[in-house]
A and B are shown apart, each in its own frame.
Chain A
Amino acid sequence: MTRSVRRTSRPSRTSRIHRPRRTHLSHRFLQTAAVGTAALLTLAACSSSGSDTTSSSSSELSGTVTVFAAASLQESFTALGKEFEKEHPDTKVTFSFGGSDSLAASITSGAPADVFASASPKTMKIVTAAGDTSGTPATFVRNQLEIATLPGNPDKLASLKDLTRPGLKVVLCDSTVPCGAAAQKALEAGGLKLTPVSYEQDVKGALTKVELKEADAAVVYKTDVKAAGDKVEGVDFPESADAVNDYPITLLKNAGNPEAAKAFIELVRSAEGQKVLGEAGFLKP
């Protein structure tokens, strides 16, 4: 292949201007395609070699535990993963954090995961319905909504009803994602109608708009307000009690490393795990 390229490119250099452009492009395209295929093959080779680390089944835990977890669990689960690796030195915990729904979609389409921790039972049901879980999912924490507003609460927001004030820029999560569904529930519980400026695609998107001061307030999880530190201020509201999200966790059927995965779930549900999650703002189940 390289030989023919070299041979044919030489005569053209002397008469470049007179050649039609199209041929030049297609030749370049084919060259690029060949390189691209080589890259794809390399990728395939890499991905097949990654799975043989999870085959051990001895009493001493080892290998990799792959955990798919809701984005809101990022801080606490990362801490728990480090703790787990310290307790079991031969293991490694890898995480994929993201929207629960997209994680559930990747699991049902065959993503190699051992543990799934979702932000809502509804999302968990997608995975159980597809027959991809092993055992019954257990609720390990609950998360409550809170109003996130600018530091110092300049608009003097004190209740969910205050968000319906005209002129106030409020963002909500879209009702298709768990935080949006919960917010709708809370609004219904309070008999309130609220038109936000935007329905964000996830809770972090909603919070970011407040952090950047583009929006005056957002309805997000308590844990997100806590994780944002002093960039936002949290305002509790009583209707949030009617819209608490349960977080279920489960072992997955196609887990490559079920022993270590079970041990990780135990750690999450243990007193120690609950302490870490409690510090992040989660409620006990």
Chain B
Amino acid sequence: MENGPAGAGGPAGPRRRRVRRTVPLPLLLPALVGLAFLLLPLLALLVRAPWSSLPEQLTSAEVWQALRLSLVCATAATALSLVIGVPLAWLLARTDFPGRGLVRALVTLPLVLPPVVGGVALLLALGRNGIVGQWLDAWFGITLPFTTAGVILAETFVAMPFLVISVEGTLRAADPRYEEAATTLGASRFTAFRRVTLPLIAPGIAAGSVLAWARALGEFGATITFAGNFPGRTQTMPLAVYLALQTDPAAAIALSLVLLTVSIAVLAALRDRWMTTT
């Protein structure tokens, strides 16, 4: 915000005008180091990939099983995040209640919490012996650990804060007067939310969903802690990559490549459509 306009509008001499166009070296160098630091590991993955044996590595049934499970679970986790996360974001952005700042901080906690800790916490809450889970087991015979539903919950726990933060930010930027106008014209608050607010913040929801989906796709720690690892049921791609690395690094690289390709493809596809419109 500050940089460009100041150069244009300030008391600019000829020196200033030049500065406006070129990036100062103390910024450019670290920026390039930063860029290289982020891209180098990805490049290494491409360089060391076992290209010749790649086709047979990737056509194994287990890989497709893990990839399919990853895609299904990440999508389900994103859907669940939408259903409960968007209302939560609305609550945080549009209503006022005591301790709202604290609630907002707690909502974002899974962002910084080590995922393994998240998994342990989920076990203690929803596990067979957990404070809620034991009743789920006793009353309905439902146990969540070691099930695909457990994977979806673990991924939702870790990914939903991304959605909530994104949607809450968009809600705060959106003008509440449109909603107020709708309610003065006779719409209920929920109708106003549905017909006015939702379309208004759609780009923010889309961006948040993409973030949450990508995070869910890469989720490892909470998943293996809470849902375990069983091929076809709870073994997602990151788990398959980790375990392949123990015995067969080439297979791990091949699997990583698949995950990388899928992530890039989805981010690129969605970026053009929604993410740049914010």
Residues of A within 8 A of B37 (CB): 40
A226 at the interface (CB under 8 A from B): no
Complex alpha-carbon distance, A16 and B1, angstroms: 8
Q: Which residues of A contact B34 (CB under 8 A)?
A: 33, 36-37
Nearest CB of chain A from residue B249's CB, rounded to whole Å: 8
Q: Is the CB of A11 within 8 A of B26?
A: no
Q: Given the known A-B contacts A1-B24, A174-B229, are A11 and B10 also in contact in the complex, defined by CB atoms under 8 Å? A: yes
Q: Contact between B246 and A99 (Cβ–Cβ < 8 Å)? A: yes
Residues on B with beta carbons closer than 8 Å to the beta carbon of A99: 246
A166: CB under 8 A from chain B?
A: no
| 22 examples of A-B residue contacts, CB within 8 angstroms | A1-B27, A5-B2, A8-B7, A11-B6, A12-B5, A19-B1, A24-B1, A24-B2, A26-B3, A27-B3, A40-B33, A102-B246, A176-B244, A176-B247, A196-B230, A198-B146, A198-B228, A199-B235, A200-B228, A200-B229, A205-B225, A212-B124
Q: How far is the CA of A10 from the CA of B7 in the complex (A)?
A: 12
Q: Closest CB of chain B to A214's CB: distance in Å? A: 5
Partner of B128, one of A33, A171, A174, A214: A214
Flag if A19 contacts B229 (CB, 8 Å). Answer: no
Q: How far is the CB of A27 from chain B (nearest CB, A)?
A: 5
Secondary structure call for the A interface:
helix
Q: Which of chain A's residues has its CB closest to B228's CB?
A: A198
B124 partner residues in chain A, CB cutoff 8 A: 212
Q: A7-B6, A169-B146, A212-B124 are in contact. Are A198 and B234 (CB under 8 A)?
A: yes
Partner of A8, one of B6, B129, B242: B6
Q: Is B161 at the interface (CB under 8 A from chain A)?
A: no
A 192-220 to B, binary, CB cutoff 8 A, 1 in contact else 0:
00001111110001000100111100000
Given contacts A34-B27, A205-B224, A212-B124, contact A12 B6 (CB under 8 A): yes
Residues of B within 8 A of A198 (CB): 146, 227-230, 234
Q: Check B91 for interface membership: any CB of A closer than 8 A.
A: no
* A21 lies within 8 A of chain B by Cβ: yes
Is B1 a contact partner of A23 (Cβ separation < 8 A)?
yes
Whether A9 lies near B2 (C-beta < 8 A) is yes
Complex: A102 Cα to B123 Cα, angstroms: 26
Q: Are A11 and B9 in contact (CB under 8 A)?
A: yes
Closest Cβ of chain A to B100, distance in Å, is 24
Q: How far is the CA of A8 from the CA of B2 in the complex (A)?
A: 6
Known contacts A176-B246, A214-B145: A33-B27 contact under CB 8 Å: yes
Bound-state Cα–Cα, A10 to B128, Å: 58
Q: What 10 A-B pairs are tightest by C-beta distance, nearest first?
A: A198-B228, A24-B1, A37-B30, A213-B129, A176-B246, A197-B146, A8-B6, A12-B2, A19-B1, A101-B246
User: Which listed residue, A30, A200, A215, touches B27 by the CB 8 Å rule?
Assistant: A30
B59 to chain A, nearest CB (A): 20
- Cβ-based interface call for A177 (8 A): yes
Which residues of B, 121-160, contact A by the 8 Å Cβ criterion?
123-124, 127-129, 145-146
The size of the chain B interface, using a CB distance under 8 A, is 42
Give the residue among A24, A37, A214 with the most B Cβ atoms within 10 A: A214
Contact A201 B1 (CB under 8 A): no
Closest to B10 in A: A11
Chain A, Cβ-Cβ closest to B145: A214
Q: A42 at interface (Cβ–Cβ under 8 A)?
A: no
For the complex, is B31 an interface residue (Cβ under 8 Å from A)?
Answer: yes
- A residues near B24, Cβ cutoff 8 Å: 1, 4
Contact (A214, B6) CB under 8 Å given A198-B234, A201-B242: no
B contact residues around A1 at 8 Å (CB): 24, 26-27
For A13, give the chain B residue with the smallest CB separation.
B2
Residue of A5, A99, A177, A212 with most partner-chain B CB within 10 A: A212
Complex Cα–Cα for A4 and B5 (A): 13
User: Taking the complex as formed, is B4 at the interface, i.e. its CB lies under 8 A from any CB of chain A?
Assistant: yes
Write the chain A residue with the least CB distance to B224.
Answer: A201
Say yes or no: is B243 at the interface (Cβ < 8 Å to chain A).
yes
How long is the Cα–Cα vector from A105 to B249 in the complex, in angstroms? 10
Would you list which residues of chain A between 1 and 50 have a CB under 8 Å from chain B?
1, 4-5, 7-12, 15-16, 19-21, 23-24, 26-27, 30, 33-34, 36-38, 40
Known A-B contacts: A19-B1, A197-B228. Give 13 more (CB < 8 A): A9-B2, A11-B6, A12-B1, A20-B1, A27-B3, A99-B246, A101-B246, A174-B229, A198-B229, A200-B228, A200-B229, A214-B127, A214-B146
